[in-house]
Amino acid sequence: MNEFFKWEYVITLFPKVLSALPTTLFIVLFATLIGSFLGLIIAYCRIERIPIVNQISAVYVSFIRGTPILVQMFIVFYGVPSLLGVIGIDISNWNKLYFIYITYGINTSAYFSEIFRSAISSVPASQYEAAASIGLTKWQTYRRTLIPQAGKIAFPNLGVSIVNLLQNTSLAFSLGVLDIMGKVQTLGALYYRVLEGYFIAAIIFIVLSISLEKLFNMLEKRMHAPKRSRQVTMQPLALERAEAAMTVQKSIK
């Protein structure tokens, strides 16, 4: 280890590190899925102010957002087995990845729930009333009126949150999981070349972060683009009203 940084090691190690990419991406994927599901439920409980659950959710979200994910990871790692041990389930031979999925899922759910909550509450109350006035049930109101509108508002924040999640996965190696950083650490021990490994990891994270960001920007733009199909299926009456509205607007100008 006489020379500090050698490009040839970058080339040798790159494919080996890259082979761990799926592990990292799966953590992101599962955490996003778990986080969305739990996050929506928490957001619902908090918006509807369901007694007790609302308070518990608030504490849960505050705790998750107020503690490092590294600490959460170890609490899950040591806590879940002894919790499940109480009801007689033995998970001592679980893959460590499951603990990672649980940790990152829980962590993401707290952040997502806040994003959902603020997005749903930013939909004007009149929308809710309008939906109720045409006889939609609560579930229908959420599904057909609130969530589609809130989704557009929440989307950019979800994107930022997922990029954060991606970067946070770099801590999973602390449990000994062989994601990108884990791979870099093991290869470092094997080849005595650590800096090159970090360099590769940095490149991969930069590329992933920027592509994710670009992807979300693109999707966001598409989401806000006018939909042609909707104009075509517009009812004649609605068209007439739209035209009337347009002329009124013009005359105001």
Partner 1 sequence: MDFDFAFMLEAFLAALHYLPTTLLLGFLPLVFGSALGLAIALIRHYEIPILAVFFKWFVTIFKAVPVVLILLVSYLVFSDVLDKIANSLALSISFRDIDRRSIAIFALTLYATSGLSEIFRGAFASIPKGQIDAAYSVGLTTLQVLRRVMIPQVIPLALPLVNNMLISLIKASSLVSMVSVVDILNGAVIEANVNYRYLEAYVAVSIIYWGVCASIEAVTAGYEKYANRNRRRQFA
Task: Name the residues that contact partner 1, by CB under 8 A.
Answer: 4, 62-63, 65-72, 74-75, 78-79, 82-83, 85-86, 167-168, 170-171, 181, 194-195, 198, 201-202, 205-206, 208-210
CB 187 within 8 A of CB 14: no
Three-state secondary structure of the chain: CCCCCCHHHHHHHHHHHHCCHHHHHHHHHHHHHHHHHHHHHHHHHHHCCCCCHHHHHHHHHHHHHHCCHHHHHHHHHHHHHHHHHHCCCCCCCCCHHHHHHHHHHHHHHHHHHHHHHHHHHCCCHHHHHHHHHCCCCHHHHHHHHHHHHHHHHHHHHHHHHHHHHHHHHHHHHHHCCCCHHHHHHHHHHHHCCCHHHHHHHHHHHHHHHHHHHHHHHHHHHHHHCCCHHHHHCCCHHHHHHHHHHHHHHHHHC
In whole angstroms, the minimum distance from the beta carbon of 199 to partner 1 comes to 8
Residue number, 40 or 183, with CB nearest to partner 1: 183
Q: Determine contact, residues 253/189, Cβ cutoff 8 Å.
A: no
**Shortest CB 61 distance to partner 1, Å:** 11
Q: Indicate the residue among 109 and 145 with the shorter CB distance to partner 1.
A: 109
Shortest Å distance, C-beta 213 to partner 1 = 8
Q: How far is the CB of 64 from partner 1 (least distance, A)?
A: 9
Compare residues 63 and 98 and give the one whose CB is closer to partner 1: 63
Question: Would you state the structure tokens that stand for residue 147, as one six-digit string?
Answer: 């969530």
- Looking at the Cβ atoms of 146 and 200, the one nearer to partner 1 is 200
Residue 237 phi/psi, 5° resolution?
-60, -45
Supply the minimum distance, in Å, between the C-beta of residue 169 and partner 1.
Answer: 8
Q: CB-wise, 25 or 195, nearer to partner 1?
A: 195
Whole-number minimum distance, CB 133 to partner 1, in Å? 32
- Please identify, using beta-carbon distances, which residue of 37 and 63 lies nearer to partner 1: 63
Would you say 37 or 78 has its CB closer to partner 1? 78
Give the integer Cα–Cα distance in Å for 34 and 40: 10
> Position of tokens 């170890």?
74
Q: Provide the minimum distance between the beta carbon of 131 and partner 1 in the complex, in angstroms, as a whole number.
A: 30
